[in-house]
């Protein structure tokens, strides 16, 4: 990957370097495609302002004082940038906050209302040239497979981070949005037939999505209904690789999802963490019908000697279990040495990932 001089005055270079200091990562590529993407998303003055924001967020009062800019001017600029999906905005007891967004997941996903073929082709070019470096190769991974609860053997204790419905039940706000990956592929005439509006967002404070430009507020029951729709469609649940405070549940297909594409196209096995479970077969009950084989998006099942054969690289999503007419399949715990415990929350995840990447993100905090 190309190294860019830290002395550059180019606002896009400054923003790119800032985004790569975020533990998620935003690596440079030799021909500058990463800068072309930022130029599509940001005007020069927007890029420079975004590069000065902090990850935890600040009120306009604090920002105005730190940046030495009039509060009214700053508010107008940042509110417009929020509408364009360039910054994060949230409210708490101290008021409205403006924050730096990681590039992925973050800025790119929030272009859902502006996305067009030009941006998609730039992203495809960047994805192929970067090959998912840093974003999908660093430890701990960003994403974690979340198994379907009904697939888990009933006598097993299930941790909250290991079950999609529990993530929804533990939240205080819920939202639904379109899948960026499927919209992305649709713009280049490559969309699959899976449902689009099944990306579920959750938050630990009430009314979190009431002023969102990309996420429609929904009820807890509606979130559970969307989850079931995704399960019925055969989509794979994934979420942030943390033990608590999950901000989303993505419902992924291997054809469009960039996480699974990183594994399949570029050999990036660290793009996600497998669930704590693995598929188990009751051979006496299995009829060899092949329903599970058709359901597995990763093609890890096959029929051998009239029985289902399970590949040991199973990710433990449980999607296949739901369609077995003989109830011969279930998810069981992996061996203890195979289970990767997630960081406690997003803060611990960021600290651990920054340490592993040998970067110092504290100027962003």
DSSP string, 94-107: TEEEEEPPPIIIII
* Confidence label for 4 from pLDDT (cuts 50, 70 and 90): very low
94-148 tens-digit pLDDT: 889 999 999 999 999 999 999 999 999 999 999 999 999 999 999 999 999 999 8
pLDDT of residue 361: 85
Domain match, 308 and 357 both: no
Which pLDDT band holds residue 230 (cuts at 50, 70, 90)? very high
Extract the runs of DSSP E, i.e. beta strands, from the chain: 88-92, 95-99, 143-145, 173-177, 199-203, 216-218, 236-240, 248-252, 272-273, 277-281, 301-304, 307-310, 329-333
Claim to verify: residue 209 and residue 243 sit in the same structural domain: yes
Q: Are residues 193 and 342 in the same domain?
A: yes
DSSP-derived 3-state class of residue 17: helix
Pair 345, 214 in one domain:
yes
Confidence band, pLDDT 50/70/90 cuts, at residue 6: low
Distance CA 324, CA 316 (A): 15
Same structural domain, 358 and 344: no
Do residues 73 and 181 share a domain? Answer: no
Looking at the fold, whether 81 and 112 belong to one and the same domain comes out as: yes
Place of tokens 């996420």: 215
Does residue 5 carry a pLDDT above 50? no
Q: How confident is the model at residue 163 (pLDDT cuts 50, 70, 90)?
A: confident
Residue 138 lies in a domain: no
Same domain, 114 and 257: no
Q: How far apart are the first and last CA of the chain?
A: 26
Report the distance separating Cα 179 and Cα 328, nearest Å: 32
d(CA 143, CA 166): 17
d(CA 229, CA 249): 13
Residues 175 and 235 in one domain: yes
Per the structure, the count of domains in the chain is 3
Is the pLDDT at 62 greater than 60, yes or no? yes
Residues 46 and 159 in one domain: no
For the stretch 268-280, pLDDT in tens is 888 899 999 999 9
For residue 4, tell me if it sits in a domain: no
The answer as to whether 86 is a domain residue is: yes
Cβ atoms of residues 208 and 173 within 8 Å? yes
Render pLDDT for 184-213 as a digit per residue (tens, 0 to 9). 999 999 989 999 999 999 998 899 999 898
Pair 216, 343 in one domain = yes
DSSP string covering 86-149, please? SSEEEEETTEEEEEPPPIIIIITGGGTTT--HHHHHHHHHHHHHHTTTTTTTSSS-SEEE---G
Domain annotation covers residue 5: no
On the 0-12 / 13-18 / 19+ scale of CB atoms within 10 A, 201 is: buried
pLDDT above 50 (res 330): yes
Q: Which domain holds residue 191?
A: 143-275+338-349
């Amino acid at each position: 990957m190309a190294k860019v001089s830290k002395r550059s005055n180019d606002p896009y270079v400054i923003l790119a370097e800032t985004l790569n200091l975020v533990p998620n990562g935003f690596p440079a590529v030799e021909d500058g495609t990463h800068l072309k993407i930022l130029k599509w998303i940001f005007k020069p003055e927007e890029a420079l302002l975004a590069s000065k924001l902090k990850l935890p967020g600040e009120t306009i009062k604090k920002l105005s004082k730190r940046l030495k800019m009039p509060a009214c001017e700053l508010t107008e600029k940042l509110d417009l940038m929020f509408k364009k999906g360039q910054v994060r905005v949230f409210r708490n007891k101290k008021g409205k906050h403006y924050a730096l967004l990681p590039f992925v997941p973050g800025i790119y996903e929030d272009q859902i209302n502006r996305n067009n073929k030009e941006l998609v082709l730039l992203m495809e070019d960047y994805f192929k040239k970067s090959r998912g470096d840093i974003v999908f190769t660093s430890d701990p991974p960003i994403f974690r497979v979340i198994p379907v609860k009904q697939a888990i053997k009933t006598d097993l204790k299930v941790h909250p981070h290991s079950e999609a419905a529990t993530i929804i039940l533990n939240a205080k706000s819920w939202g639904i949005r379109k899948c960026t990956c499927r919209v992305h592929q649709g713009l280049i005439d490559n969309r699959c037939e899976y449902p689009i509006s099944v990306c579920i967002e959750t938050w630990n404070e009430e009314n979190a999505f009431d002023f969102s430009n990309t996420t429609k507020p929904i009820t807890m029951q509606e979130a559970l209904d969307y989850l079931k729709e995704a399960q019925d469609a055969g989509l794979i649940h994934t979420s942030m690789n943390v033990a608590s405070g999950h901000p989303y549940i993505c419902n992924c297909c291997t054809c469009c999802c960039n996480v699974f594409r990183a594994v399949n196209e570029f050999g990036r096995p660290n793009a996600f963490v497998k669930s704590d479970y693995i598929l188990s077969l009751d051979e006496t009950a299995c009829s060899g019908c092949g329903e599970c084989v058709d359901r597995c998006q990763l093609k890890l099942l096959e029929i051998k000697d009239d029985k289902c054969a399970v590949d040991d690289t199973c990710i433990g999503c449980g999607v296949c279990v739901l369609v077995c007419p003989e109830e011969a399949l279930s998810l069981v715990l992996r061996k203890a040495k195979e289970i990767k415990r997630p960081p406690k929350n997003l803060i611990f995840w960021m600290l651990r990932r920054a340490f592993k990447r040998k970067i110092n993100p504290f100027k962003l905090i």
